[in-house]
Structure 1
C-alpha cells in the first residue's frame, strides 16, 4: 500500500469511528467539509510523519466524497465525458469514454471500503446488499443506473456497474451529425413516430437503444397521453401529458414486487394513447403486443437482439414465457399485426453507435414473418484499424408498406417519398 493510501486508511478509520451519522445527515457539503478539515488538521498535527498541505486537502476531499458521494468513484461521476463506470474489485476500476474502455488510476483503500460504499449506495435508494442478498439493481438520485454484486457471487471482489444518466437530450439531428444514421433515415423515423407506427428498437448492451428511444419520443404529439414503464427510469419525455411508472423489487421478506407485466396490464386501464416500455425482457411482451393491437398505435419499446430477425424470435420467446399455451402460429400472427418497424442499433468496434438496419414487418407467408429492409448500413471493404467507415443505403418503399399507408393517412406521404428518394444512391 502506498504512503498516501496508508495515511488515508488510518485517518479514515479514526474519523469514521467518532462520526455521528445523524449529525452528518443534517449538514450540507460545505459544512461537512469544514468539520472534516478540522478533524484532518488535528490528526495531521499529531501524526508521526509530516502531512503536507496538498495531501491534507486531498484527504479532506476524499473523505467528503466518501461520506456524501461515491468515494473514489466521485471524480468519474463528475466527468461528463464518461458514460459508464465499472468496478471489478479494489484495484480494478474502468470507465467508458467516447465508446472505448479505459483503466482508471483510481482505486479503493481496501475491500472493506469498497463494500461499505456499495452498501451505502444501496441504502440511499432503500435497498439492502449483504451476504444474504448479494445483488442489487437500482437507480441513483441523478437517474444513473447501478448494479452491485458482492462476494461470494463476485469471485474477485465486490463489483459495481454504473450507467450514468445524461441530462443532455440527444435528438435525431444530433445523431446524424455523429454519423449514427443518415438524414433520410432520421426523416423516416420522425415520420414513423408522428404517424403512430409501433416501433421496436433492437440492439446489444450499450448500443444506444434508450438514447434512440428518447430521441424518437420527441416527435410524439403534445396532445397525447403517454405512459412510460421502466425498471429504472431513464426516459425523458418532453410532452406535457406523461405518466411515469417504475417497477419495484421485492422486499427483504420477498414481498411487494411490482413487475413490468403488472404495470403494462394496469397501464391499459389508464386510458393511454401510447405506451412506451423502456425494455421488454419477459412475459410483459404479450401484454405489450395486445396494447399495440388494441388502439395504442405508436407504442415503442427496446429489447436485446443482434438482428431484426432475432428480435422477432426474441419476442416469440418472451410471449411464451407468459405461459399462455398459445400455438406458435397465433403468436407470430399477433407479432406481425402489432409490430410495424424494427430499428437495429449496434455498437461498432471503434466505439461508435450506428443504426445498421431499419426493417418493416409486412406480414406472414406461411408460418414465417416477412420483413422488408428499408435502410441498411454498408461498411467499406477496406476498413481502417481504428475507424468504421461506410454508407447508409435505402432499398426504397415496398408496395405493402404500412409506413406508406400511415403516412398517407396523416398527410405525410410526400415528405416520406422525398426522404426515400434522397436516401437511394444514384
Structure 2
C-alpha cells in the first residue's frame, strides 16, 4: 500500500513537471504582451494548435483534456489572475495572500488557510503583479516598489516587491463581491441578535451618528454597508473612501474616492479634501469609509453642524481604544486643540459606538453596542447597551458565549421618540439574548 502511494505521488509529480515544461514552452512561443490584443476565442484556438504541435515535436503523450488545462492556464496569464484564477473564482475566498512564489494563502469563512497554488518562480509572480497593477492604471517597479490599487472587478490589491520585500514579491488581494452579506445573514449566523439589529436600524432611521470599530477583517465595512441600507431613499448621501467598497442602493448617492499621488509625487487628493468639498454638495449624511487621519476633525465638525446620521469606521481593539484613536487623529489635523476640548467635541458628535471582532475561530461577533452620552469630569460617559461575553471554544472549534442586554436604556430613546422612530423598551430589559433569529427588513 505504501509502495503504491509512493508511486502515485511520483507519477503525479512527473506529470506536473511535464505539464510545467510544456506550459513554459507555450509561453515562450507567444508574445504575451501582444496576445492580449487578440480576441479571446482566436487566441484560444491558436494555443490549442500550439499545444498539439509541441506534444508532437516533444514526443509527449498528453491527453486532450490536459492540453486544454494548459490552454486555460495561459489564458489566465493573459486575461486573468494567472495561477490565482481558481482562488479568485471561489465564492468562499475573501482574501488571497501571496508571500513569494511558493507560499499562497486564502481566507475562507474568517480562517487563514494554506493552498497548493504556486508560481513558477519569483519572476513569474512579478509579471502577474505588474500586469494586474497595470490594469488598475498604476505601476510598480524598483523606483515605486509598493502599490495599493483597485482592480477592475472592485477588488483591492496591495503589492510590495524587492528591494522592500526581501523574500520575493508579495501580493495581497481583498476580494470584492457584489453579493454582500446581508443583515439578515449576520443575525442568522450569530454575529449579532435581532434585538441588536433592531436597535441599530432605529439609530440609523433616527439619524444618530455612529462609529464602528474593529480590527482588520473584522467586518466593519460589511456592517456599515448593512446599516446604510436603512437610510431613507429621500436623503442625499455622500460616501468618502480611499478605495470604494460601499454599495449604497439609494437613488441620491455620490461616491467619492481619494486619489494617490502620481509617479512625480503630484496630484494627490486625500479624504480630507474630499470631505471638505462634500460639505458644499448639500449632503444630508456623510459616510466616511474609514477614519485614518486628520480628516477626522472635519468629519466631527460635519456631525456637529447638522449632518446627523453620519457614520464611519475606525481600526481599534475596543471601544475605549476607538475614542483614543479619534483623539490622536484630531491632533494629526494640524489644528491645535486642547485634549479636553477634543474630547468634548468627540462626545458631542457621536452617539453610538459599535465594536465588532473576528475571533480566533474565524467567527465574527458584535462585541458591544454602547452609547456615548457626553463628557463629564474629564472622562467620556459610555454605557454598554448590548455585549457579547465569550466563555471558550468547544470541541468542534466553535466559539461559546452569549449576548446580553445590560439593562441600560439609552438616552437617545428620547430623541428617537421625538422624531417618530418607535423602539420598544423591552429591547433593553437585562437578560441573555437568543441567537440565530430571523431579522425581517422593515420597510
* TM-score bracket for the superposition, by shorter chain length: over 0.9
> In 2, Cα distance between the equivalents of 1:306 and 1:109?
39
**Partner of 2:5 in structure 1?**
none
What is the Cα deviation at residue 265 of structure 1? 0.7
1:70 counterpart = 2:81? yes
> In 1, Cα distance between the equivalents of 2:430 and 2:416?
17
> Would you say the 8 A contact 2:216–2:315 is kept in 1?
yes
What is the Cα deviation at residue 159 of structure 1? 0.7
> In 2, Cα distance between the equivalents of 1:177 and 1:31?
47
**Partner of 2:357 in structure 1?**
346
> Would you say the 8 A contact 1:376–1:392 is kept in 2?
yes
Q: 2:20 aligns with which of 1, 8, 24?
A: 8
> Would you say the 8 A contact 1:44–1:51 is kept in 2?
yes
After superposition, the Cα gap between the structure-2 partners of 1:5 and 1:223, relative to the gap in structure 1 and judged at 3 Å, is: farther
**Partner of 2:419 in structure 1?**
410
**Partner of 2:128 in structure 1?**
117
> In 1, Cα distance between the equivalents of 2:289 and 2:45?
43
After superposition, the Cα gap between the structure-2 partners of 1:95 and 1:20, relative to the gap in structure 1 and judged at 3 Å, is: closer
Q: 2:397 aligns with which of 364, 376, 386?
A: 386
1:243 counterpart = 2:254? yes
Matches within 5 A, 1:252-401: 252-380=263-391, 383-384=394-395, 386-398=397-409, 401=410
What is the Cα deviation at residue 2 of structure 1? 5.8
What is the Cα deviation at residue 7 of structure 1? 4.5
What is the Cα deviation at residue 266 of structure 1? 0.7
What is the Cα deviation at residue 50 of structure 1? 3.1
Deviations 1:115-166 (A, max 9, x none): 0000001000110011111111111111111111111211211111111112
Q: 2:62 aligns with which of 51, 59, 79?
A: 51
Matches within 5 A, 1:120-135: 120-135=131-146
> In 2, Cα distance between the equivalents of 1:425 and 1:169?
26
1:42 counterpart = 2:53? yes
TM-score by length of 2: 0.91
Q: 1:87 aligns with which of 98, 106, 111?
A: 98
What is the Cα deviation at residue 5 of structure 1? 4.4
Aligned residues: 422
Deviations 1:262-312 (A, max 9, x none): 111111111111111111111111111111111111111111001101000
> Would you say the 8 A contact 1:134–1:149 is kept in 2?
yes
Bigger mean CA deviation after superposition, 170-179 or 275-284 = 170-179
> Would you say the 8 A contact 1:273–1:296 is kept in 2?
yes
> Would you say the 8 A contact 1:397–1:420 is kept in 2?
yes
Runs of 5+ consecutive residues of structure 1 not aligned to the other structure: none
> In 2, Cα distance between the equivalents of 1:329 and 1:2?
70
After superposition, the Cα gap between the structure-2 partners of 1:46 and 1:8, relative to the gap in structure 1 and judged at 3 Å, is: same
What is the Cα deviation at residue 425 of structure 1? 6.5
After superposition, the Cα gap between the structure-2 partners of 1:300 and 1:126, relative to the gap in structure 1 and judged at 3 Å, is: same
After superposition, the Cα gap between the structure-2 partners of 1:146 and 1:425, relative to the gap in structure 1 and judged at 3 Å, is: closer
The 4+ residue runs of structure 1 with deviation greater than 4 A are: 381-385, 422-426
Q: SS where residue 418 of structure 1 aligns?
A: helix
1:24 counterpart = 2:17? no
